[in-house]
Amino acid sequence: MLDIPSSVRVDVEALLAAQNHMGVCDAIEQYAPVERPETMTTPHLPKVAGIDSTVPPPAHTAAPASPSPAPPSSPEAPGAPGALIQDRLAGWVSDLTTLHELTERLARTAVMDDALHEVLRAGAALVGARRGLVVLEPADGLGPDTTVGLGLARADLGHIETVPRGATSYGRILDRTDGTGEPEVHADLLSEAGLDPRHREVAARLGYAASFALPLATEAAGRLGAAVWLYDEPAEPVERQRHLVGLYTRYATEHLARLLELERARTKSRTIAEELLPPRLPRVAGVQLAARHRTGPRGGGDWYDALPLPEGALGLAVGSVTGSGASAVAAMGRLRASLRAYAVMEGEDPVAVLSDLELLLRLTEPARSATALFAYCEPALRKIVLAGAGHSPPLVIGERRTEFVETSLSAPLGMLACWEAPSVEFSPEPGETVLLYTDGLLHRTGDPMDRAFARLHAAAAGVPRTIRDDPGAIADHVLHTVLPDGLDAADSDEDVVLLAARFE
Are 234 and 328 within one domain?
no
Which residues, in sequence order, are bridge partners of residue 229? 132, 212
Whole-model pTM: value is 0.64
| Residue numbers of the domain that contains 411 | 277-503
Are 234 and 324 within one domain?
no
Distance CA 403, CA 7 (A): 83
The upper half-sphere exposure of residue 81, i.e. CA atoms within 13 Å in the direction of its Cβ, equals 15
CATH number for position 248? 3.30.450.40
Residue 72 lies in a domain: no
Are 92 and 157 within one domain?
no
Are 6 and 137 within one domain?
no
Are 253 and 325 within one domain?
no
Q: Which of 483, 480, 401, 479 lies closest to 434 in space, CA to CA?
A: 401
Please state the φ and ψ torsions of residue 425, each to the nearest 5 degrees.
-130, 140
Residue 52 lies in a domain: no
Residue-by-residue pLDDT tens, the chain, 504 positions? 334 344 433 343 443 344 444 444 444 344 344 343 443 333 344 433 334 444 444 444 444 444 455 454 444 455 567 788 888 788 788 888 989 999 999 999 988 999 999 999 999 999 999 999 999 999 888 888 999 999 999 999 999 999 999 999 999 999 875 555 688 999 999 888 889 999 999 999 999 999 999 999 988 888 899 999 999 999 999 999 999 999 999 999 999 999 999 888 878 877 777 778 888 899 999 999 999 988 766 667 889 999 999 999 999 999 999 887 778 888 888 899 999 999 999 989 999 999 999 988 888 888 889 999 999 999 999 999 999 998 999 999 999 999 999 887 788 888 876 777 789 999 999 999 999 999 989 988 889 999 999 999 999 999 999 999 999 999 999 999 999 876 666 666 788 999 999 998
Are 96 and 116 within one domain?
no
Domain count for the chain, please give it: 3
Distance of CA 120 to the CA centre of its chain: 16
Are 89 and 175 within one domain?
no
Residue 84 lies in a domain: yes
